[in-house]
Copies of this chain bind each other. A is one copy, B any other.
């Protein structure tokens, strides 16, 4: 018959010791002792069957007598559409009305044979439900309700009541649902690798498993949380963080579109490791090699050379760096933009500053509730401070250096343009700036050319420096950008000066883009995960990433 390419469902094996099983070929007849054993087993089986029948009859009798029959258990098939409400729709107005909700069971507790409590959870928000035996609600229904496995998804119909004492452990403490019907939508296994409520708190410093807090609650390590990320995402905090991440992306796209920018998708599969071999993942591409793009840099510039004027991209960025820190990932979400300008690259820098101020301001406006929720779990960092006048603070790199020097930091390497600021210096500068200017967001402009990549435009009046900038949040870099060299000859010279071979395979298309004429342009690349992390003051970038990837982690 059909399905020649699809394997068939394997035939069920005959049950062990089944009566009609044919004896194995050539097997000898049964011995006396075996016969005795068989008779014993037969008697045992008969006894068990009788017991089972009795239990079944009892259950049937109970079920027949169950006044709550049909009010609980598996979700019955029904053509009727039963509107359900969100917890956010449960207000004082709904008191004394009958509502239906679909939610997870966060906790189930049997108080007595006649009373049970459920804590229901919807996207991390919690509401208490109660069931009491009183016709038609039977003791069986109370027992069933109190015995629902934690994390199961149920459909509950009940009356909204105001509890006598506010329920402090619930998100909506002035609401209690008095259950009339409860059906199972999706049953969770009895054993969960961790409890969702234990993941509500920040992960501990310890990486040792099985530790408990001072009050006896289990300490769920970051590893356990990430190993069980689906459960971890169900917490109120994770729900809020994923909304913030969604929000940053939306605000970025919204601003770019509003300003006439074109949404682009540049290839992640590239033929050559043009941006340096060590940080690039190598792919088996049919019979040859390919690489994963480390950034859309060369391609977004080629779009500009292709007369696209202003472009933006939202896409994964891959880094084969063996960095195991709190802020490095091997795959993250890049928010990139590139645009032409008329007179000066500060036209683009102004744009980028306004973009970030827009994103950060709107986050505080549109995601107030989520930010508050997250602040409960991560209070340490405090609210993110934005410049009061709605304009970004812009300092020159050398001004930042002077501030560090004044604070007694050894910046001798930086003064000789040998290295960029270290992470520690950046953080310290962040603290100095916060104190002096009362802002957690600022920009450094005019980095030394020596610490920037070959495609960066040197400063026309002093080639020691460059028309490049970094953006910082709470003293950590979230964006790097610059004016790019748009003249092919200048670009080739810059490549040679930086030890990059312009004749290397893969650069031909890039250089041709400028040989064929290209407008002056500038741009930048933002790291979404870092923006979320630093905006919220999270201790680890993995908490701002759905399914993080690092040198050690490729799952879930």
Interface residues of A (CB under 8 A from B): 1-10, 78, 81-82, 84, 102, 104, 122-124, 151-153, 185-189, 192-193, 228-234, 238-239, 242-243, 245-246, 249-250, 253, 257, 262-271, 281-286, 290, 292, 299, 302-303, 305-309, 314-316, 318, 320, 322, 330-331, 333, 342-343, 416-419, 450, 486-488, 493, 496-499, 506, 509-510, 512-520, 528, 545-549, 551, 554-556
Contacts and interface: CB of A to CB of B under 8 A. Distances in A.
B486 A546 contact: no
A193 to B, nearest CB: 8
A285 B556 CA distance: 16
A189 B246 contact: no
Which of A232, A333, A547 counts the most B-chain CB atoms under 10 A from its CB?
A: A547
Contacts of A257: 250
* A-B residue pairs, 5 tightest by C-beta: A7-B499, A233-B306, A509-B556, A271-B554, A188-B517
A407 to B, nearest CB: 23
A305 B230 CA distance: 6
B342 A230 contact: no
B246 A102 contact: no
Contacts of A267: 316, 331, 546-549
B520 A551 contact: no
A341 to B, nearest CB: 11
Given A281-B284, A307-B239, A269 B515 contact: no
Interface of A: prevailing SS? loop
Given A266-B547, A307-B104, A322 B185 contact: no
A465 to B, nearest CB: 13
A233 B303 contact: yes
A516 B322 contact: no
Contacts of A151: 516-517
A229 B306 contact: yes
Nearest to A227: B509
A151 B10 CA distance: 66
Given A267-B549, A285-B281, A547-B267, A2 B229 contact: no
Contacts of A270: 554-555
17 contacts: A1-B416, A5-B419, A7-B497, A185-B519, A186-B518, A228-B512, A239-B307, A246-B264, A265-B546, A267-B331, A268-B268, A269-B281, A269-B318, A270-B554, A281-B285, A315-B315, A315-B316
